[in-house]
Structure 1
Amino acid sequence: MSIVLRAAACAAALLGATPLLAQTVPNPDFPALEAAQNAANGAPGPRSVPAKAVPVPDDVDLATAALVAAPYRVPAWNANPPDAAAWKALVDKLAQASLPGLAKARAALGVTIQPTTIGGVKGFVLTPKEIPDAHKGQVVYNIHGGGYVYGPGESGTAEAMLMAAYGGYKVVAVDYRMPPDAPYPAAMDDADAGYRALIAETDPKKVAVVGTSTGGGMALALMLRLKGEGVALPGAVAPGTPWSDMTETGDTYRTNEWVDNVLVSYSGYLTHAAQLYAAGHDLKDPQLSPIYGDFHGLPPTILTSGTRDLFLSNTVRTQQKLREAGVVQELQVYEGISHAQYLFDPQAPLTKEVFGEITRFFDQHLAK
């Protein structure tokens, strides 16, 4: 049984067989808890909160409830291999495990995939079975996520597949180099080279850049790099739950810790992956943490996150900076969703809605 199906059964049990989880019930111990919390939070400073269980929301569809109810993904979230060889072995194991599911999803969605090389960098072209007339000549450039370590090769094409299927675009996905073999700036160099090659043959105003998590952070960093070097920017950008700050700055790094069932805690693999990628560089460098860059002049941007996302603050702070810089921007936040879960179930209403909204935004801002 797949993770999604197992989680669906769990969610159905939680929402159906245990109705108390979906109701507000009096807590007989509340007076004592109230007094303890008042005493613990009676002065300015950090908030002290009691241990508690957070139920699956009762106002989401079953597919979304399945994602919310899913257990932590071990060993992905807390991986800490002892050396480079062990890192590569884990990454390859997880990548290989994802390939059958991706092939099945592509077949169901009618998306084809072809390897390519763009700007000297490996990549893939994903094409839907039909491209609407309005999207002909337009291209989506995808930068995959995975904490700078996960998602090599075809295993990193889930978002590109979904963008092709639900947006009706030709999608070019860059397979950038990653640590431990290739730390910063290799990934950014590859993303830059691929984009430059793409706009050498396509009007940049007909190009959108899409990326989730690490891919979202890299998309923003790429905009800053291109702007600084005087290269034409794309018509629109869609950073999903971007890793825009690698310094663990932001409220939801704490408020959503242990609630997000994907990333779980920054003290898991994220810390180790950040160290591998940065390789001693300052984490506040805008090419590593674009939140510290100048967002003036960036293209129209649509951001996506969820209420349980460890990176929700990254996303909200990014939108605030874009707004302050006068950039056209939108933020969509989904109930109960942890980090990047709109990529997990290709048939879920959530997935269709997220990519439908991104497509609507691109239809408003990409050149025809």
Structure 2
Amino acid sequence: MGTLRSLWFATAALLGAAASAQGTAPSAKPDGTVTSPAISIPYSAYASPEAQAFFPKMLAAGSKAPPITAPIEQSRAFYDRLNSDRVTRMEKLYPIKMHSETIAGVNTDVVLPAQGVSPQNSHRVLINLHGGAFLWGAHSGGLVEAIPIASIGRIKVITVDYRQGPEHTFPAASEDVEAVYRALLKQYRPEQIGIYGCSAGGILTAEAVARLITDKLPVPGAIGTFCGSLLDIDGDASYIGPLLNGQGVPEHRLMLADLPYFHGANPRDPLVQPGLSPTLLAKFPPTLLISGTRDAVLSSVLASQQRLDQAGVQTELHVWEGMWHSFFSDPELPESQDAYRVIVRFFLHHLSR
């Protein structure tokens, strides 16, 4: 450790000297805030060639996204087009069958592998909670997260069209997840049910489990919180992630309280941020956490894993180099395919037969 620490200081001194020679030396304030006049960061050499080629295209597509303040119809139309294109590409790679179903009054899409559910999974089921800032992502966004898992894992996946903002506010989505979960408990044992989601869906997965615990329901056999977890969007990555994705350092970071869905909610409520309650966390099931080094939510995911571990919960953490928020929504990347493998393996290992 002493050698690594010495190497770090030597490297920092060398970079600082080079920056000073160019008149771009970074500075540090007493509170630890670091300022650098200019910075140029190449894309990661550890990412796959496919990701290196796709990254500029991803940035170009992202630059066309409506701002969070845009009319909700505009945002939903944009992301539905984006996700519908992904669904088309996914179905060519991962054959599935699907149908709509109302469960406990909640709209859902049921995704099944084209070759049929495997015998070992006949008594297992996964609940998917789609991403989309608690504003968009219903149907097509859920299918993006469900199709590869259902096909590769040969397991039934139910993706939930939960209530979102701005029409609805917390805890409407958690209530919908609980309603679906209660209905499934009539067909499955809790240890045979898994819940997972990405971004807002990852946050909602944690919130839903906290609600189940509070309502004294048995917890599912395992959960996955991807690109969003048990804590608010904060920490180093909330600044560095946007910078690494060409957006610059944000003057105001988007946090949960900024989302219409959480208007009126107490951001310190453990049912909003379960990571604030060690008592709740101690009752969580095994949890898979996924992120990427260019994800603005990476710090939140890392801190969530640490708190779960401190609470004695079995966790599995995977962070992909060079990857951005919800990177596995694009199925052609080797990193995405690796993520699907990790997700399937985790649930097949932890869910009871």
TM-score by length of 2: 0.86
Is residue 31 of structure 2 the alignment partner of residue 47 of structure 1?
no
Say whether the 8 Å CA contact 1:210–1:239 is kept in structure 2: yes
SS in 1 for 2:59: coil
Query: CA offsets per residue over residues 333-359 of structure 1, 9 Å max, x none?
Result: 100111110122x13221121121122
Structure 1 pair 292/273, CA: closer, same or farther in 2 (3 Å)? closer
Is residue 68 of structure 2 the alignment partner of residue 109 of structure 1?
no
Is residue 186 of structure 2 the alignment partner of residue 197 of structure 1?
no
What is the deviation of 1:45?
2.4
Is residue 271 of structure 2 the alignment partner of residue 282 of structure 1?
no
What is the deviation of 1:78?
3.0
- What residue number does 2:63 align with? 74
1:163 to 128, 139, 149: 149
- What residue number does 1:59 align with? 46
- What residue number does 1:244 align with? 230
Structure 1 pair 261/223, CA: closer, same or farther in 2 (3 Å)? farther
Say whether the 8 Å CA contact 1:126–1:164 is kept in structure 2: yes
What is the deviation of 1:254?
1.6
Is residue 144 of structure 2 the alignment partner of residue 185 of structure 1?
no
Structure 1 pair 265/170, CA: closer, same or farther in 2 (3 Å)? farther
- What residue number does 2:324 align with? 338
User: Hey, what's the Cα distance between the residues in 2 that align with 1:74 and 1:31?
Assistant: 30
What is the deviation of 1:29?
8.0
Say whether the 8 Å CA contact 1:63–1:349 is kept in structure 2: yes
Q: Percent identity?
A: 27
User: Hey, what's the Cα distance between the residues in 1 that align with 2:256 and 2:28?
Assistant: 33
Query: CA offsets per residue over residues 306-359 of structure 1, 9 Å max, x none?
Result: 111100011001100100000000110100111110122x13221121121122
What is the deviation of 1:94?
2.9
Structure 1 pair 222/75, CA: closer, same or farther in 2 (3 Å)? same
User: Hey, what's the Cα distance between the residues in 2 that align with 1:272 and 1:208?
Assistant: 25
What is the deviation of 1:106?
1.7
What is the deviation of 1:291?
2.1
Aligned positions of 1:1-368 closer than 5 A = 30=18, 32-33=20-21, 37=25, 40-41=27-28, 43=30, 45-69=32-56, 70-71=58-59, 73-76=62-65, 78-81=67-70, 86-130=71-115, 131-246=117-232, 248-260=233-245, 265=250, 267=252, 270=254, 274-293=258-277, 294-344=280-330, 346-368=331-353
SS in 2 for 1:258: helix
> What's the C-alpha RMSD, in Å, of the aligned pairs?
2.7
Say whether the 8 Å CA contact 1:148–1:277 is kept in structure 2: yes
Q: How many residues align?
A: 335
Say whether the 8 Å CA contact 2:66–2:74 is kept in structure 1: no
Structure 1 pair 337/31, CA: closer, same or farther in 2 (3 Å)? closer
User: Hey, what's the Cα distance between the residues in 1 that align with 2:172 and 2:29?
Assistant: 49
Say whether the 8 Å CA contact 1:139–1:170 is kept in structure 2: yes
Decide which moves more: 149-158 or 26-35.
Answer: 26-35
Say whether the 8 Å CA contact 1:217–1:290 is kept in structure 2: no
User: Hey, what's the Cα distance between the residues in 2 that align with 1:264 and 1:167?
Assistant: 39
Say whether the 8 Å CA contact 2:134–2:259 is kept in structure 1: no
What is the deviation of 1:154?
3.2
User: Hey, what's the Cα distance between the residues in 1 that align with 2:256 and 2:165?
Assistant: 11
Say whether the 8 Å CA contact 1:291–1:318 is kept in structure 2: yes
Alignment gaps of 5+ in structure 2: 1-13
Say whether the 8 Å CA contact 1:67–1:341 is kept in structure 2: no
SS in 1 for 2:324: coil
Alignment gaps of 5+ in structure 1: 1-25
Structure 1 pair 104/263, CA: closer, same or farther in 2 (3 Å)? farther
What is the deviation of 1:285?
1.6
Decide which moves more: 53-62 or 101-110.
Answer: 101-110
TM-score by length of 1: 0.83
What is the deviation of 1:271?
5.2
Say whether the 8 Å CA contact 1:264–1:310 is kept in structure 2: no
Say whether the 8 Å CA contact 1:147–1:274 is kept in structure 2: no
